[in-house]
């Protein structure tokens, strides 16, 4: 059995590959990779995307994307990476003819407008960013390809995943990881949102476990609707800072950026999925648990 992981050099992808073990994993990304079976290439190039799914590939974890801020800044590239490349991979699965499992990283960016608190399984998707639109279209494609028997698909709507190490990416939620990471590393940080700004959060370890669990779920338990919303606990910027203040060597100040604040005011503050719970997915318990997991992983690295 071969497992294909796209976006394998990324934050979630690299953790997923480590969790799976590298023996049977084919990892692909544009970035540098040190995995046993690694293929570097551009998923926005259709022949490359379609070359990845061979008859030996039984599971595809499709994590590669141009995240929210990047997709908003570059519409053409976002469409190619987030939408066109996903369809190319689905087509490769269809043409391979053996109905591989297809596990997709979607996002709570599919929600927008006036939202309930928390967002639940019943909340309709209404994206206000190109990134969320791309993710929603891909969810529908996965449903249809699964209905027709081309793939055995499942998609996870991810809340904000924390704590991202190293340099921030272009996600509009990148400040949340930086607010924890930077002061712990001894660097002062100016947070670009107000202290009461809340977002739905989930730890990296919980997300990796969720992807693995999604791949193992029987198709019959998912039914025709293959997308599962993951529960994200509500955490404010102030609570994030409070969780690390006692051990931080750097300081945090709050200086809201009007444009980013407007975006963050419109995103889900929390997500609660009874369906995810019934299917066996587990949420983070608290921001303290998320920070503890990050510190433990930092020590191991």
Structure tokens given for 12: 């979630």
- Residues 162, 177 contacting (CB under 8 angstroms): yes
Chain-centroid distance of CA 39 in Å reads 21
- The answer to whether the bond into 239 is cis (omega within 30° of 0) is no
Nearest alpha carbon to residue 252 among 181, 189, 182: 189
**Helix, strand, coil abundance in the chain, percent, nearest 5:** 45, 20, 35
Nearest alpha carbon to residue 292 among 244, 245, 251: 244
Distance CA 233, CA 243 (A): 15
Distance CA 220, CA 213 (A): 14
Nearest alpha carbon to residue 293 among 196, 188, 177, 154: 177
Q: What per-residue string of b and e applies to 177-203 under the rule 16 or more CB within 10 Å gives b? A: bbbbbbbbeeeebebbbebebbbbbbb
- Residues 7, 26 contacting (CB under 8 angstroms): no
Structure tokens given for 164: 């991202």
Instruction: Name the catalytic one among 111, 131, 145, 189.
Output: 131
Question: What CA–CA distances, in Å, run from 3 to 6, 85, 115, 139, 254?
Answer: 10, 18, 37, 21, 43
Q: Are strands 227-229 and 152-158 parallel, antiparallel or unpaired?
A: parallel
Let me know if 131 is a catalytic residue: yes
Active site residues per annotation: 131
């Amino acid at each position: 059995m071969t497992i294909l992981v796209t976006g394998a050099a990324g934050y979630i992808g690299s953790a997923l590959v480590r969790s799976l073990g590298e023996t049977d994993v084919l990892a692909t990304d544009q970035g540098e990779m040190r995995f046993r079976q690694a293929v570097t290439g551009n998923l926005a190039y259709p022949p490359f995307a379609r070359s990845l799914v061979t008859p030996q590939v039984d599971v595809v974890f499709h994590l590669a994307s141009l995240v929210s801020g990047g997709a908003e800044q570059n519409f053409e590239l976002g469409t190619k990476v987030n939408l066109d490349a996903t369809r190319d991979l689905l087509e490769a699965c269809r043409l391979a003819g053996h109905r591989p499992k297809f596990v997709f990283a979607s996002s709570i960016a599919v929600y927008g407008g006036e939202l309930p608190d928390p967002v639940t399984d019943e909340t309709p998707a209404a994206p206000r960013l190109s990134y969320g639109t791309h993710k929603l279209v891909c969810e529908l494609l996965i449903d249809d390809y699964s209905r027709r028997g081309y793939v055995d698909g499942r998609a996870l709507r991810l809340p904000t995943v924390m704590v991202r190490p190293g340099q921030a990416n272009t996600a509009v939620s990148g400040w949340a990881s930086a607010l924890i990471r930077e002061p712990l590393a001894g660097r002062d940080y100016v947070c670009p949102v107000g202290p009461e700004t809340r977002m739905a959060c989930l730890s990296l370890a919980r997300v990796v476990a969720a992807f693995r669990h999604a791949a193992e779920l029987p198709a019959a338990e998912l039914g025709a609707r293959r997308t599962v919303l993951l529960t994200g606990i509500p955490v404010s910027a102030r609570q994030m800072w409070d969780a690390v203040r006692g051990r931080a060597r750097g300081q945090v100040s709050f200086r809201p950026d009007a444009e980013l604040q407007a975006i963050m005011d419109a995103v889900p503050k929390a997500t609660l999925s009874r369906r995810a719970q019934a299917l066996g997915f587990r949420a983070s318990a608290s921001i303290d648990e998320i920070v503890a997991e990050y510190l433990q992983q930092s020590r191991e690295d």
